Amino acid sequence: MGEPGGPAVTGPAGDGPSRRPPAGGAPVPRPPFLRVRNLRTGYGPARVLQGVDLEVEEGEMVAVLGQNGAGKTTLLRALSGLVRGRGSVGLRGTELLGRAPEEIARRGVGHVPEGRGVFAPLTVEENLRVGAHLRPGSELAEDMRHVLTCFPVLRAHLSQPAGSLSGGERQMLAIGRALMARPRLLLLDEPSRGLAPLATRRLFDVLRAISTHERVAMILVEQKTQLAAEFAARSLVMESGRLVTPGMAGPPGDPSTQGTRPWHGSPPGPGTWQGSGPPSTPDVWQGPGNPSTPDVWQGSGEVWQGPPSGGRSAPGRPRPWGRSHG
């Protein structure tokens, strides 16, 4: 049955159905590819997600940052159906909450948990075939070619046990196994964890290419803020079970200003800056209260401590930090 406002019509290739606008009216905008509203869940009596709102467009890579225990992993588990939640999770207009994980996977959601989980005794090829169990058998060969094109290093190891691969290769295999199901939304939990810098960049180059050229939406949980800033279209911060906009600050005592968030410019308030660059570059601020006075910054393996003073001390040791540092 057509919706109010006119019958459904088809837009440009790849745009899907849209509604015909009333005469003289503007086109009705399409809903986002993924729309999450007031998502709440936890484990037993412990509430972890406190009401998450999130929108992701097709082909968009979104990074979720935050401290351990903030709810980042639980968010991915709720989106893939591994934990039950309340609220709404709409994927291309279809409600996912309440569906079994296998049904959510059939709808196009792939999940790569933290830890590079592969079946170590099975060969690389067998691991990839496991990922295709929801796909038609007639498409297996094409799916395999697709994954090996994304990760050509796996081609030379197809007959080897997965447990014999390096950490970077195992991560590629774990992601490749998820790609065998041809997902439209890929959830990645700390894909760079434990990887060498070169392996990390190679992996993220592939992820960006998949997102851009194949229009696969991605939500990745990441601890490396500079990496997220370079590769993701947007970075959001999970604080106490809620997502906040990077750089936002509220009045003193406002809970939304507490926790971890990316920040541009000089350290804005009491707490801790963590990151790979100098204090003048975007990093992560941690601490309660309203950002007001530079206090503690951590980065490059060094710690800056104390109120602003402009002083310095030897590398690797606590030192006062002031706005003259950079």
CATH of region 34-238, choose from 3.30.200.20, 3.30.360.10, 3.40.50.300, 3.40.1280.10: 3.40.50.300
Calculate the average pLDDT of the chain: 77
Q: How confident is the model at residue 23 (pLDDT cuts 50, 70, 90)?
A: low
How do residues 279-300 score in pLDDT, each as one tens digit?
443 344 444 333 333 334 433 3
Q: Which of 55-64, 99-108, 316-325 has the lowest mean pLDDT?
A: 316-325
CA–CA dist 81, 61 (Å, integer) = 20
**Token digits of residue 238:** 């999970």
Per-residue model confidence as pLDDT tens digits over 177-215: 999 999 999 999 999 998 999 999 999 999 999 999 999
User: How far is the CA of 300 from the CAs of 86, 276, 297, in angstroms?
Assistant: 41, 5, 10
Per-residue pLDDT reduced to its tens digit, 210-239: 999 999 999 999 999 999 999 999 999 999
Backbone torsions φ then ψ of 258, nearest 5 degrees: -100, 140
Which tokens belong to 294? 């530079």
More confident residue, 307 or 137: 137
Paired tokens of 212: 């851009």
pLDDT at 117 over 80: yes
Residues of the chain with CATH 3.40.50.300: 34-238
- Split at pLDDT 50, 70, 90, the class of 247 is very low
Token pair 């591994």 is at which residue?
82
In the 3-class helix/strand/coil scheme, how is 105-143 assigned residue by residue?
A: HHCCEEEECCCCCCCCCCEHHHHHHHHCCCCCHHHHHHH
| pTM greater than 0.85 (yes/no) | no
Between residues 315 and 25, the one the model is more confident about:
25
**Which residues are paired to 110 by β-bridges?**
186
Residue that wins the pLDDT comparison between 122 and 275? 122
Where in the chain does DSSP place strands (E)?
Answer: 8-10, 17-19, 34-43, 46-56, 61-65, 86-91, 94-95, 109-112, 185-189, 217-221, 234-239, 242-244, 259-263, 272-275, 283-287, 296-299, 302-304
